[in-house]
Structure 1
């Protein structure tokens, strides 16, 4: 098959440039508008004056990324559409987050979510969790910059260096100067671009086929990719109803229940009710986007059924299928490939800007203010802006490192998921287990991480035994499809990457196994569940062995409303001295900010 080199035209580049210009302009707008009044509270929480819809859309693109845009359709292409069940997990998780997590963090009015751990447990638990989370965030930021940059380079022949620098610098610029308001309002556009990109691809494939959706589904059934659910309780199945619902729910809780970047969004709303609604609507939208990504994967399989690009060496990995499909569908339409590439870039910009702002909040609140207790509000705001710039530039450096790692990227993403579940376990101990103490939380965290790493390493030595649905090239002689520069770029580059959050499509694996090693055969979606359970069980056991916390000494504000509604008679109306001291310090600090900002009533939380 002859190779026809595809190069983006001027319209494509103008659309990509437009995304960068718009994002930068939003940052400049908020930097100029708030130049005389901006405080750290406004920088991180938008003075608690954000509305439900923009916060909801910001939650969507902060939860998703270019990894979702490219990886989920590839997973569905390789393993079938059962991934759609994740959308149900998001709905369940949304209810749990809105009722069990958001009220506590909103009413405590914390800038850094890890302040909660200091109040509930102690500083040792707080800083251990910060270390685990910050390490995870740094790795993740670099990868979500690198993934779409590599996709663009394969379509245009442009070195990934230029794309990495453009993404990283633009993101750093508007996040640093505009703060959380710039991040949230750019997220609104980014969410629309991601969703519309998936829809355009899916609808175009359906319209191109005689029979439309019916033909898409017929080809999926012929390719053994039409099973929508499986109620088998076998935990080694890659996907089943129980695996996806349980594992997916724990996954969304670990990613969004007590994560700094998401808690900042909850706490930027005008009221607790709006914060809860923003969380619920946001994760409902995440479920909708997941459905769209799943359907895109189904249509992509139908488009290539009988002439698989992997088997025919047009691409080397499933992760490269979406860029190839964009070229095959739209190479004759000026500007449209650029618009769809922007969908992937939007996911990266939103994810990284969210995490850069979160890292600045963590460092400022948990480290700078701890060391520099009498820092003025003006100087502190300047410090956190500098921190944002440093973290954004650091993410660019990590992205360049990621470019040299090849297949190791998949392992790093999996480790990121492993770290999230033990951290969720620590917060769960604090919110839902009144008798849990600091020793239990600390030991539970360490063992949860250790078990997670063991599972991941073990699964590498003893891979799961399963058979993926077949791929075929039997009809390639009667199917004519355009060939792009991807065919050359992917087959001749040293860069290979897994950009699907631990999703690793593989073919049939058969290997003699010892019964003990079967623990490593569980679905990757169970890793988070196992890590979370280990953290919780060990944390409770150690807490009781070392002297469990007396619930009467806890301020009710530190416990989830779910717990309080069941055991409302067990706690006094006022909390312990630690909570009271924190409230007094926070009140005095906010009063000083109010005085310095001309009496802005939105700043005072008294």
Structure 2
């Protein structure tokens, strides 16, 4: 497909988002609108829009690509998704009531009330680090696709592609913030879901299959195995490890993450926020089934048409992330290619725009104490928020450039392992706060505990096969990380005179 066609659709897409930003921020673009959308969001818009935020370009191209990985991944990822669903239910029934009861803008304020200022700053810092790295990674993944299939043809360097992408995101988020994000994410989720469904339709048409025949073909293809019960010790994909990892990664990366919780806290009340989470969970599970089905169909199509997994230009090794765009752009007609581009763009930018808003919110509330300002919407305070928003855009740009310099294809499959290190201490902090209500900690020692725990986990992960009889960690490492943090906090704690009420 001609790069000019893809570029024209990309430009039109962003002009539409900028237009929405103008309309949503025309009446009000103050800090209350930016941080909480005036706590007046419709729960069904939040639920649907969160799909785009939760999935990202990693899900869009990596999950289908991994189905036919030479290592034999099949539908193993769905075990993790089932764990995610359980985690979302726990968030809706345990964490959301707490956040609404305390009327939080930043969810890390809970840690300040419960454990102290040093603990609070540590929790907020963990989020800033984790979300910056995670969001930069997700954007990096889509930028390399844009670079390969569009901007290389025009001689645009990689750094300029990254800068253009972040500049476009900044342009439609810096004024309206969360109020704009809820609308744009809803629209982007429409593109994402439509793209997945239409991709299935077009690939089925190319294979001469109707939808029922396609699912029967997938069932009989050898790609559709879901549950794996290989040796628990040596296999990363044992169902128990995947379920545990899915549950606790979700609690940490969603329930203890300002990004996704900020949207939930913009609903009118706890009842609407819970309806949002339950609806989101059901749609999330179904849409991931579709993504895995797309992966199976891509490999069936590739086998039938003699298409090899594209090779990474630097490493010279097959890279499954490129299979979906390769088939969409070079082996199907123009319409499927455009639909793929819209879906991929929607998935990735829905994640990144939301992250920039959440990072700005967390820094302004947790480190600049905006919540304590007499006039939150004073012009000087709004200007400070604009400056912070720009700074985080620049920081994300630098992180993506670093990723590209390393150019390690394996980083794609390691995103949840990275989360196990960075989000694990948050599990420990919140776990201690919720379950040890009659104990307080030595607040000044908490940052050291939260640094020590990931270091111990890194050592265990690298040496578990030797130290633990061949045991291999996967995403359940986050549970160990949280447990070590919890034990560390217990060691530096002492009984308090009054039981904490939250």
Deviations 1:134-175 (A, max 9, x none): 122222232222211111222233443443233211111111
1:226 matched residue in structure 2: 224
> What's the C-alpha RMSD, in Å, of the aligned pairs?
2.8
Q: How does 1:287-306 map to 2 (within 5 A)?
A: 287-305=285-303
Gaps of 5+ in 2: none
1:518 matched residue in structure 2: 470
2:337 matched residue in structure 1: 337
Task: Answer yes or no: is 1:29 the counterpart of 2:34.
Answer: no
1:8 matched residue in structure 2: 3
Q: How does 1:186-197 map to 2 (within 5 A)?
A: 186-197=184-195
1:61 matched residue in structure 2: 52
Distance 1:455 1:323 in 2: 37
* 8 Å contact from structure 1 (residues 186, 350) kept in 2: yes
Task: Answer yes or no: is 1:397 the counterpart of 2:398.
Answer: yes
2:350 matched residue in structure 1: 350
2:133 matched residue in structure 1: 139
The runs of 4+ residues in structure 1 deviating greater than 6 Å are 311-315
Q: Specify which of 39, 44, 67 is matched with residue 35 of structure 2.
A: 44
What secondary structure, in the 3-state scheme, does the structure 1 residue paired with 2:267 have?
coil
* 8 Å contact from structure 1 (residues 442, 539) kept in 2: no
Q: How does 1:80-479 map to 2 (within 5 A)?
A: 80-156=74-150, 157-158=152-153, 159=156, 160-212=158-210, 214=213, 218=217, 221=220, 224-231=222-229, 234-305=232-303, 307=306, 309-310=308-309, 316-330=318-332, 332-333=333-334, 335-369=335-369, 377-378=377-378, 379-407=380-408, 409-410=411-412, 413=415, 414-439=417-442, 444-458=449-463
What secondary structure, in the 3-state scheme, does the structure 2 residue paired with 1:382 have?
helix
Distance 1:515 1:416 in 2: 23
Distance 1:315 1:210 in 2: 32
Q: CA deviation at 1:21?
A: 0.9
Q: CA deviation at 1:184?
A: 0.9
Q: CA deviation at 1:190?
A: 1.1
Q: CA deviation at 1:210?
A: 4.2
* 8 Å contact from structure 1 (residues 94, 284) kept in 2: no
Structure 1 stretch 201-210 or stretch 349-358: which is displaced more? Answer: 201-210
Distance 1:75 1:401 in 2: 24
TM-score, normalised relative to structure 2: 0.88
| 1:260/1:220 CA distance change after superposition, 3 Å | same
Larger-gyration structure (1/2): 1
TM-score, normalised relative to structure 1: 0.74
What secondary structure, in the 3-state scheme, does the structure 2 residue paired with 1:437 have?
strand
* 8 Å contact from structure 1 (residues 105, 263) kept in 2: no
Distance 2:384 2:214 in 1: 58
Q: CA deviation at 1:9?
A: 4.2
Distance 1:225 1:415 in 2: 27
* 8 Å contact from structure 1 (residues 419, 452) kept in 2: no
* 8 Å contact from structure 1 (residues 425, 533) kept in 2: yes
* 8 Å contact from structure 1 (residues 31, 178) kept in 2: yes
Q: CA deviation at 1:298?
A: 1.4
Aligned residue pair count: 485
Q: Specify which of 52, 62, 70 is matched with residue 71 of structure 1.
A: 62
Gaps of 5+ in 1: 1-5, 460-512, 559-606
* 8 Å contact from structure 1 (residues 168, 392) kept in 2: yes
Deviations 1:556-591 (A, max 9, x none): 2x2xxxxxxxxxxxxxxxxxxxxxxxxxxxxxxxxx
* 8 Å contact from structure 1 (residues 176, 385) kept in 2: yes
